[in-house]
Amino acid sequence: MNSWRVFKEAIESLASNKLRTALTMLGIVIGVTAVLSMTAIGQGASSSITSSIESMGTNLLFVSRAFSDNNSNPQALTLSDAEALIESGGAPSVAAVAPVVNASRTVVYGDNSTSTTIMGVTPDYASVRKVSVSSGRFIDQKDIDSSSTVAILGNDVVEDLFGSDVGVIGQKIRIGNMLYEVVGILESSGGTFSGSSDNQIIVPITTAFSRLVARSNANDEVDMIYVSAVDSESMSGATSEITSILRSRHKISSDEDDDFNIMSQESMTEAASSITGVLTVFLGGIAAISLLVGGIGIMNIMLVSVIERTKEIGLRKAVGAKNKDILLQFMTESLIIGLAGGLLGIILAYGLAAIIGNIAAASNFDLNPVITFGSILLAVGFSMAVGLIFGIYPASRASKLEPVEALRTE
């Protein structure tokens, strides 16, 4: 029996009961769609996080507080620590530093209010973190020296409080019991998996210390110090210099652990990629279960088909069909169901990925699901394998039927 004839008879057999074939195929379609959609979301998340981190620059370091049992007197990071990194002369690989202090507050303008993050920063924050204003100005040194009650608003805050950015500069908003003059609006950068930078307000760091945050163990304790190295090649040197200066200032002995942690943009990218990679595999593994369920459905329906077509099988054998011909016939039917289901699943997965991407865009969320060629090959191969594997037993059972017994079947 030639291949074309086998394929033609398999199509005719499946077409003779379209509803049952469609329902059998549905499990494969759902499985492939789920696998591709989940991996696409994982790939999109990884791409979003990586691009978000890389947009900060290749020469950025993040210095944060660390806790360890092997440190007799752990200390917080302070504004003085940040100033020491740039003023001591002991860190030639450091170009600029930007200490930051955070607080969550409700902001009010007229009858409108919103909860947001207030960030106390220095003027160098703009260059270190590569942020800019779309209108107005950024924090300057005069604001720091006088602890001015001025604020730069993110786009989401502007929308929540004012409805638009027209005439916002110069308006007064209330944070706590104080009025702050709006002197700038941040350039929109969209939402990321680490949160939306548009939903924040920036104030002078000295104003934040005196009016927004209360620290029990240090009057100038900061939450993070962003450090810009001279260039990407100076990252290692900058890390060593920062470590040396902070260990000296915090009086950390040689046998004690650091009470601070330094992360580079590269290490953050690797960590994020590792997390999203595990997430992608996890989501894909869960979705793959539906493919197995679809395979069981194929086996079940093919077994029913063997029983229904027992007399047909006996007649074929009586006129000369061999066991391998019957085996090939039923396995081809199973393979076609798996392949067709896989192809339909791919089409649905592209549609679902587009819908998810549009929803994310409408929500100002940076997520673009990515369906790779490799994942398509894997999904199609897996769906065909499921159809083939779960079709082996029914096909084998059909091929072993005795012609005489089969012909007696009513």
In tens digits, what is the pLDDT along the chain, a chain of 410 residues?
566 776 777 787 777 778 878 887 887 888 888 888 888 887 777 777 666 665 555 688 899 888 776 666 778 899 989 998 988 677 888 889 999 999 889 999 999 999 999 999 999 999 888 888 999 999 999 999 999 999 999 999 999 999 988 889 999 999 988 999 999 999 987 654 445 678 899 999 999 998 888 654 456 889 999 998 888 788 888 889 999 999 888 888 877 888 888 887 666 666 666 777 777 777 777 767 777 777 777 777 777 776 666 666 666 666 666 777 777 777 787 788 888 888 898 899 888 888 888 887 777 666 778 888 887 887 778 777 877 777 777 767 666 666 655 455 55
User: How many other CB atoms sit within 10 Å of the CB of residue 312?
Assistant: 17
pLDDT of residue 215: 57
Q: Which of 186, 79, 198 is nearest to 138 (CA)?
A: 186
Determine the Cα–Cα distance for residues 114 and 136; give it in Å rounded to an integer. Answer: 22
Cβ contact 314:409 at 8 Å: yes
Backbone angles phi, psi at 142, to 5 degrees: -65, -40
Cα–Cα nearest to 28, from 355, 335, 304: 335
**Phi, psi values for residue 2, rounded to 5°:** -80, 165
Residue spans of alpha helices (H) in 189-257: 205-207, 235-249
Q: Which of 23, 1, 2 is nearest to 14 (CA)?
A: 23
Say which amino acid occupies 80. Answer: S
**Distance in Å from the first CA to the final CA of the chain:** 27
Alpha-carbon dihedral 129, 62, 119, 45, rounded to 10 degrees: 80
The alpha carbon of 215 is separated from its chain's Cα centroid by a whole number of angstroms, namely: 34
Helix (H, G, I), strand (E, B) or coil at 203: strand
> Residue 165: its pLDDT value, please?
86
Q: Which residue in this structure is represented by tokens 């260059």?
A: 127
Where exactly are the structural domains of the chain? 3-53+270-408, 67-258
Q: What size, in residues, is the chain?
A: 410
Q: 341-351 burial, b for 16+ CB within 10 Å, e for fewer?
A: bbbbbbebbbe
What residues have CB less than 8 Å from 281, skipping those under 6 apart? 42
> Is residue 229 helix, strand or coil?
strand
Helix, strand or coil for residue 73?
Answer: coil
φ, ψ dihedrals at 341, nearest 5°: -65, -40
Residue 188: how many other CB atoms lie within 10 Å? 15
Interacting residues of 277 by C-beta distance below 8 A, sequence separation 6+: 42, 46
The residue behind tokens 């548009």 is 198
**What's residue 408's pLDDT?**
58
Largest alpha-carbon pair distance within the chain? 103
Residues 62, 57: Cα–Cα separation, whole Å: 12
CA distances (Å), origin 402, targets 155, 321, 324: 77, 12, 14
- Tokens 């800019």 belong to residue: 132
Can you tell me which residue has the tokens 């609006």? 185
- Residue 365 is given by DSSP the state B
